[in-house]
Amino acid sequence: MTLWIDEPIWPAHSRLFAHLVSDVSYDELHRFARMQGLHPRSFEGDHYDVPQERWQDLVAAGASPTTGVDLVRRLNASGLRLRKRKGDRGLMRHLGVPVLGGVSDVDLVASKVPVREEAVFAAMVFLRDRCGHFAAVYSLRRAEWGSPGGSREPGERPIETAVREVSEETGILIPEDIVHPGGYERFTPRTAGNVIDPRRPYLQVYRARLEDVRPDITQGDDGIRETRWVTAPEYAALCGHLFWWPLAVENFPDLASQ
């Protein structure tokens, strides 16, 4: 094990916390956290928040004490650090994801604040009806199920992309005022030929809730093979294995039990 924990000097919720990391792998970090009974919600994308009263237990179990500066240095050197804005919640950093014409590292971050529009290349919408069904689309390009979404067109705001893609892929017209930021995916290309522009690395994720129940849904545009309204368990069965799934669970916590 190569686990590190800094000093419990970080205040939050009227308590002091330390940060627990691995500079080898997230799998090692998660295994250790489970063995020590750390709550899954204490994971922040690249580290676990550890309350001061548990610090000595984790050191005794094998985590090596270090400083905050050294901990960040180790995370940066290992490639496991997930950068995020203050107030955002880091969910996951996936290394080496085959996507968008190449291989990228992908950060998943939950946030109610949209990212800079000029840095967004695409948008996706988790679309749910009043009774909890999700709109699912099968993308021919990706050869998998997912939620409506796609690339921005010139001059288009990301929220306009979201509304347009829902219309094109499902036939459902949604007003902008029900479309809310739910987080983002940030792509760091690792191979040549990747279609990601480093100046526009973000896919903006939205959520939208309809007042209708399973409104009529079309079979989508030429890039979509099939569309469906699905229940939460069906949505999890279709998409729960995909890299972006933690963002769906963060926006709709009932999916965690599926």
**pLDDT per position as a tens digit, 195-214:** 888 899 999 999 999 999 99
Our count of domains for the chain comes to: 2
Whether 110 is covered by a domain: the verdict is yes
Q: Tell whether 253 and 133 lie within a shared domain.
A: yes
Per-residue pLDDT tens digits for 50-71: 999 999 999 999 999 999 999 9
Would the pLDDT of 221 be above 90?
no
Would the pLDDT of 101 be above 90?
no
Separation CA 21–CA 111 (nearest Å): 22
Residue where a domain terminates, one of 49, 78, 107: 78
Specify the pLDDT at position 249: 97
* CA distance to 89, 223, 234, per residue, from 184 (Å): 10, 23, 24
Whether 84 is covered by a domain: the verdict is no
Tell me the whole-structure pTM to 2 decimals.
Answer: 0.91
Provide the token pair at 185: 């995916």
Q: Say which residue the tokens 């209708």 belong to.
A: 212
Q: Tell whether 146 and 166 lie within a shared domain.
A: yes
Separation CA 127–CA 214 (nearest Å): 11
Separation CA 72–CA 47 (nearest Å): 10
Q: Are the C-beta atoms of residues 4 and 74 closer than 8 Å to each other?
A: yes
Separation CA 91–CA 30 (nearest Å): 13
Q: Tell whether 74 and 106 lie within a shared domain.
A: no
Whether 83 is covered by a domain: the verdict is no
191 pLDDT band, cuts 50/70/90, is confident
* CA distance to 76, 166, 204, per residue, from 24 (Å): 11, 40, 29
Specify the pLDDT at position 178: 98
Q: Tell whether 245 and 174 lie within a shared domain.
A: yes
At residue 23, φ and ψ (nearest 5 deg) are -105, 20
Q: Tell whether 44 and 142 lie within a shared domain.
A: no
Q: Tell whether 116 and 235 lie within a shared domain.
A: yes
Strand partners, 114: none
Whether 67 is covered by a domain: the verdict is yes
Specify the pLDDT at position 91: 95
Q: What is the extent of the structural domain holding 121? A: 89-257
